[in-house]
Amino acid sequence: MFDSMWLYKLLSNGLWPRVLASMFLSAALWWGIYRRRFVVGVIFFILTFMLTYCTNFVTGMVTWLVAGGEV
């Protein structure tokens, strides 16, 4: 069976969620302010919010999706 726990561990703690959140926030500012694509900016902003404040939920969802519904 596909072991998806590595992905959970990777996303739930340490460097990677912080790097991803910083990238998403930069993308939100770039698209939302500079490129004036409001919807894209909002999507990146929501992704940043979810990764920052709802880490366990997001990592659980991603792990579940990658594992094809089996964790």
Partner 1 sequence: MTSKGGDVVLTSPGGVEKPKGLLDALAEIQQYYVVERSSQSVSEDFLTLKGKLAFFEVGFKSTFLTGLLSVLLTPLALGVLNSYIPVFGTTELTSFDKVFTMVFAFSFTIGYTFFVASISRYYIGTLTTASIRNLFGGLVTGSLCKVVFAFLIYYTAYHFLLDPYHFGAFCQALMPSDRPDLAQRLYAAGIMFRSVMLPSFWWVFAGGVAMIVIPGLSILIRSRKTRRALKTEETKGLRQSETASV
CB of 29 to partner 1, least distance (A): 5
Note whether 39 binds partner 1 by CB under 8 A.
no
Q: At what angle are helices 55-66 and 5-12 packed, to 10 degrees?
A: 150
Q: Please, are residues 50 and 58 in contact by the beta-carbon 8 Å criterion?
A: yes
Q: Please, are residues 41 and 33 in contact by the beta-carbon 8 Å criterion?
A: yes
CB of 67 to partner 1, least distance (A): 19
Residues in contact with partner 1 by CB under 8 A are: 12-13, 17-18, 21-22, 25, 28-29, 32-34, 36, 45, 48-49, 51-53, 55-56, 59
